[in-house]
Amino acid sequence: MVITTQLTRLLGIKSPIVQGGMTHVGRAELASAVSNAGALGIITALTQPTPEALRQEIRRCRSMTNNPFGVNLTLLPSINPPPYKEYAKVIVEEKVPVVETAGNNPKEFVAMFKEAGLLTIHKCVTIRHAISSQKMGVDILSIDGFECAGHPGEDDVSGLILLAKASRALTTPYIASGGFGDGRGLAAALALGAQGINMGTRFMCTQEAPIHPNIKKAIVEADERSTTLLYRPFRNTARVFKNSVAVEVNRIEASKDVKFEDIKDLVAGTRGRKVFDSGDKDFGIWSAGQVIGLIDNVPTCEELVRCIVAEAEQIITRDLSKMIS
């Protein structure tokens, strides 16, 4: 038995699961393994230092899977922004079938990708932003609840509410993101109107994820209280793993007159990347969602996808059906 949804039909995938774009993690090794497992793997464009490096990573991924995969392009405010248009041009030239966008208004890029015949997924943390994205012609919306890793927005609304409201407010198919890591989550997301789930942190803790085993071990040993929120004084909230660096940043941010310069060195991206290479979980800041409380093993991507779908199928066809008389 398989679970068929608008997501699986649109993307040409077997299982309604998308691997979220993750800085320093979304590389060809992981994306291809997820796609080979029947879900949608995603390469993170800005993990690659240049557009041409992205081109080589796309080609490397294509050599590792015959199944569809996508590329994430996250648009964030920056003093020295990366060459977004050049990265987008590479995605179009390489004919990547699916593009996941996140961050700032993607209107210009959505139009560019649609003109090239590529499918677009856009991540939204509010219903108002999802409605705006729907008007742009985005093919699939990713609704991210407050539980998610990375940037959950400033409204602090959980996925349970966002997904239920999305079913009333949206006509574009949407997937659920933030807090998903097992079959119960997939079944719940489908019940809330979603066409599948997006998982980031859960895929970090797989055999193929290109991060140090010590970080995977830290995730397995953590619980749902092991994340914290940074950058709240600057209205750029991010959920990260609660390590010694994050605790220190929280302490500094509690100051009434805190400035970003006060924490700049602690939160440098180069430190976060070294965490994944060295295995020192306390070396820098790294993203993790509250779903870490549900992660207790490090399976292969194939094992993970298969188990999630099987559990969801059992809940839908057997457990819930017993409640109807």
Q: What is the pLDDT of residues 274-302, one digit of tens each?
A: 999 999 999 999 999 999 999 999 999 99
Please answer whether residues 144 and 199 qualify as being in contact, where contact means their C-beta atoms are separated by less than 8 angstroms. no
Examine the pLDDT at 78 and tell me if it is beyond 80.
Answer: no
pLDDT digits (tens, 9 = 90+) for 185-213: 999 999 999 999 999 999 999 999 999 99
242-260 average pLDDT score: 96
CB-count burial class (<10 Å; 0-12, 13-18, 19+) for 265: exposed
pLDDT at 137: 95
Nearest to 73 by CA among 52, 111, 46, 105: 46
Cα–chain-centroid distance for residue 246?
A: 21
Please compute the mean of the pLDDT values over residues 104-113 and round it to a whole number: 94
79 pLDDT more than 80: no
Structure tokens at 149: 């890793």
Residue 25 · residue 48 · CB < 8 Å: no
d(CA 118, CA 99): 7
- Angle CA 123–67–42, to nearest 5: 30
* pLDDT at residue 220 is higher than 90: yes
Q: Which of 156, 96, 107 is nearest to 136 (CA)?
A: 107
Going by pLDDT thresholds of 50, 70 and 90, the confidence category of residue 322 is confident
Decide: 144 and 275 in contact? Cβ < 8 Å. Answer: no
Note the pLDDT of residue 321.
86
d(CA 128, CA 166) in angstroms, rounded, equals 10
pLDDT over 90 (residue 104):
no
Mean pLDDT of 42-67: 98
Query: How far is it, in rounded angstroms, from Cα 284 to Cα 278?
Result: 11
pLDDT at 86 exceeding the cut of 90: yes
CA R_g for the chain: 19
Q: Is the pLDDT score of 249 beyond 70?
A: yes
More confident residue, 2 or 154: 154
Beta-carbon count within 10 A of 189 CB:
25
Chain-centroid distance of CA 305 in Å reads 16
In this predicted structure, what is the pLDDT of residue 325? 78
Residue 76 banded pLDDT, cuts 50, 70, 90: confident
> Across the chain, what does the average pLDDT equal?
96
Entry pTM: 0.96
Mean pLDDT of 22-51: 97
Segment 30-48 shows an average pLDDT of 98
Cα–Cα distance, 267 to 273 (Å, whole number): 11
Return the percentage of the chain with pLDDT > 90, whole number.
93
Q: Residue 310: what are its φ and ψ, rounded to 5°?
A: -65, -40
- Taking residues 23-52, report their average pLDDT: 97
